[in-house]
Amino acid sequence: MSRPHVLIVEARFYQDLADQLFSGVAAVLDAADVTYERQWVFGSFELPAAIRFALDAPPEGDAPRRFDGFIALGCVIEGETDHYEHICREESRGLMDLSYQFAAPLGFGLLTCRTYEQAIARAAVDRKNKGADAAHACLRMIELKRTLSQARP
């Protein structure tokens, strides 16, 4: 089987958190010898559209699809309005819809936190390291898709 190629799309609204999440992702992908590309969007709301753009991109060479999997990284921190609930719900739904509709392996690295302190605890590579978790999830889904897609006698 060919080496997986993963697109990482990161929301850079909270740049320090995005950097921590990416560090966790990169460590896992590098250790697994996976090739990857890194793109950014301003905020979490743009993550599903960016992944959809990649899914709609024309194939390169003989490959039917440019990317084998996707990792969405970002953070939404609760503020003083209900904006937080809307963004969290719609982002999660949008990413899940893409994964399901396109059979696209996806690592969900979108933090939805009440405080900045909760977010840094989840993003930091020396703490909960949710970036690494998203990378592991993506790699497992790529593996599962490849296994289940193989022709059976």
Q: What is the distance between the alpha carbons of residues 117 and 127, in angstroms, rounded to a whole number?
A: 12
- 13 in a known ligand binding site: yes
- 92 in a known ligand binding site: no
- 45 in a known ligand binding site: yes
Specify whether the CB–CB gap between 142 and 65 falls below 8 A.
no
- 147 in a known ligand binding site: no
- 120 in a known ligand binding site: no
Active-site choice (5, 83, 86, 136): 83
β-pair partners for 72? 9, 108
3-state SS class at 6: strand
Is 83 part of the annotated catalytic residue set?
A: yes
What's the Cα-to-Cα distance from 98 to each of 51, 103, 110, rounded to whole Å? Answer: 8, 8, 15
- 81 in a known ligand binding site: yes
Q: Which residues are catalytic?
A: 83
Residues contributing to the annotated binding site for (2S)-2-hydroxy-3-oxobutyl phosphate: 80-81, 122
Annotated binding site for 5-amino-6-(D-ribitylamino)uracil, which residues? 13, 44-46, 75-77, 108
